Amino acid sequence: CNTRSRMMMIGAAMPMLENLTFEEITVGQTASYSRTVTEDDLLLFAAVSGDVNPVHLDEAFAAGTPFKGRIAHGMYTGGLISAAIAMTLPGPGTIYLGQDLRFERPVRIGDTITVQLTVLEKTEAKKLVTLQTVASNQNGKVVVRGTASVMAPSQKLRIERPAAPKVSISR
């Protein structure tokens, strides 16, 4: 596994998860994570978060907004950034401490969002890592950008990837 650049695609055959410890991480290191936004994603996010704003759920309502159609919840994309950190860089065992986000473009059903993480800084005292976080759509347009602060794992982990829970949606 190349520790300089790591990539994880949803649906790709990756039976194992492996983290990078603080010592293995280098400034400039990158990783990416991609996911295509589905109708079910928006419905599940609304159910879990309680955010049932009609701009996310009602096409007729959303058509009358400046977006001219439904858009994904902003924090859904924030969740993809969290997944990128948890699954790729640094990976399992990471403690997420903070995130600043700037929402630049709407995300829509069918968009494939790729989160690019880049290590900006390491702080030895508390094993802190600062990451640049950039989420772009399939056209290469940035939809969200920011920085994250994490506490990198000190213990190396290579574990079996848990299966995602099975859920059903009743409309």
Q: pLDDT tens across 100-143, in order?
A: 999 999 999 999 999 999 999 999 999 999 999 999 999 999 99
Q: 0.85 exceeded by the pTM?
A: yes
| pLDDT for position 61 | 98
Phi, psi of 46 (to 5 degrees): -60, -45
Mean pLDDT, range 15-33, rounded to an integer: 97
Are the CB atoms for 132 and 147 separated by under 8 Å?
yes
Closest CA to 150 of 88, 77, 75: 88
